[in-house]
Amino acid sequence: MISQDPQKINEFLQRGVESILPSREFTEKKLLSGEVLTVYLGIDPTGPSLHIGHAIALKKLAQLQNLGHNIILLMGDFTARIGDPTDKLATRKTLTSDQIAENLKNYKSQAAKIISFEGENPVEIKFNNDWLGKMNFADVLELCSQATIQQLLERDMFQKRIAEEKPVYVHEALYPLMQGYDSVAMMVDGEIGGNDQLFNMLMGRDLLKNHGKDKFVMTVKLLTDASGTKMGKSEGNMVTLDDSADIMFGKIMSWTDGMIVGGFELCTDISRDEVLQIEIAMQNGENPMQYKKRLAREIITTYHNEPEAIAAQDNWEKTFSDGGIPTDVPEITTTVGTMLIDVVTTEKIVESKSEFRRLIDEGAIKVMTETGEEKITDVKYSIQHSIILKIGKKKFIKISL
RNA sequence: GCGUCGGUGGUAGAGCGGUCAAAUACAACAGACUGUAAAUCUGUCGCCUACGGGCUACGAAGGUUCGAAUCCUUCCCGACGCACCA
């Protein structure tokens, strides 16, 4: 049964949405037509985890699923093999079917926190290798005849590379056609993806039109800070959906303040009104930290549960606000009289002895005591009894005998 | 096939005979500060070190030189241009 609840439809069309093509009206009309729409999101099964960026798109799918539409999660197992042109010359290592199966299993359990693979209207999983892998050269030519070189090269990145005399490979240029063909193969009514997918998604729309059908294309916003810097460009603070509660809490706390509002809008179900209030409160000088903590809790509650979220916050506060020791500290064992420098380098806690010396110089290595902490200043410090070592402010290691 | 240009640290990208362990930016790490592991500022950022230095590195292998990332030779890899053209 298709729901036409205007409020829900409005939420779908607005929240976290970057753009809708050909238009919002077109899409709204489709949603109000009473038809069951088929909408998909494509994911490259290249890594073991989904990250918070995927989650934003998945949330949109969830909204549609709740409205009663038919949702497909497409694994780009074929396209992943070819490699995405965005990673320059780097040829992606080919994935074995085992790896893909493994990744898929992980994705499914992670995505299940947001969309439902069970019940009356379960999300369907498809693989584009099922059709792309079966095409012969004649099929490829037929597909290629539907686009021009100019169209394919229109893409900014290619233009840039041509201008810089950098290579553009034929198979890279063909990528949009491959991905675009997915829409035809599944005869979808809509596609959701990141902004970086816009070009490919529009190619799918063109191809679909040749088959007498039109689809909408929705791009979702990326989580960025106020200056538009993308989150996770270094992967360092990119939350993956299978991160532990503690890790998630830490990563989210290291997001810049400018990401808080976007984080609430894109990653939680907190009402837009409330998000607006938070935004205003911070503009009025309220401490962003409390909101960031709240954001972290909300997100962790989605992917884990509330008690874990609260525990993660406790743990974090204990470690960083109160200078305490976190609950689970990795432990290594050694023998009496061993030099600390040796223990710590052979255990790969510190990269090299040079680095260890530097850390000593910087006063970054401390032993935790009942009363507080004590800096180690001697490079030749040797271990006489079990200690808890603190390196920098976030690394703790228990060394026992 | 011919010609031209290029291959530098985690990345991008300078350097083109000594002052180069290699500018700069980003990332990373540490310290200070703080409201947080935000922001900002400062420092560090090949390895080893008795802290004097030593060693290994600029696609690979040789060579020239007192001395090479920098010059030469060969090789490998790449781009571009020309030629050719279904």
- SS3 track for A21-53: ECCHHHHHHHHHCCCCCEEEEEECCCCCCCEHH
Distance of alpha carbon A65 from alpha carbon A382, whole angstroms: 61
Asked if residue A342 keeps its beta carbon closer than 7 A to nucleic acid strand B, the reply is no
Which pLDDT does position A208 carry in this prediction? 94
Which pLDDT does position A228 carry in this prediction? 53
- Measure A19 CA to B38 C1' (Å): 29
Entry pTM: 0.81
Distance of alpha carbon A297 from alpha carbon A311, whole angstroms: 10
pLDDT in tens, chain A (401 residues): 788 899 999 999 999 898 998 999 999 999 999 899 999 999 887 777 888 888 999 999 999 999 999 999 999 888 776 654 433 334 444 566 777 778 888 889 889 999 999 988 999 999 999 999 899 989 998 998 898 887 887 777 777 767 666 667 777 788 888 999 999 999 999 999 987 788 889 999 999 999 999 999 999 988 776 555 555 444 567 788 888 898 899 889 888 888 888 899 999 988 989 999 999 999 888 889 999 999 999 999 999 999 999 999 998 888 887 777 887 788 999 999 999 999 999 988 998 999 999 999 999 999 988 778 889 999 999 999 999 999 998 889 999 98
Identify nearest nucleotide to residue A257 by CA to C1′ distance. B38
Asked if residue A318 keeps its beta carbon closer than 7 A to nucleic acid strand B, the reply is no
Which pLDDT does position A334 carry in this prediction? 92
Which pLDDT does position A236 carry in this prediction? 62
Helices first, then strands: H and E counts in chain A: 18, 11
- Measure A373 CA to B52 C1' (Å): 34
Which pLDDT does position A90 carry in this prediction? 40
Consecutive H or E run containing A270:
none
Identify nearest nucleotide to residue A361 by CA to C1′ distance. B30
Asked if residue A91 keeps its beta carbon closer than 7 A to nucleic acid strand B, the reply is no
Q: How many CB atoms are located within 10 Å of the residue A89 CB?
A: 10
Which pLDDT does position A85 carry in this prediction? 43
Which pLDDT does position A122 carry in this prediction? 95
Which pLDDT does position A46 carry in this prediction? 73
Chain B bases near protein Cβ (<7 Å): 27-32, 35-39, 43-51, 78-80
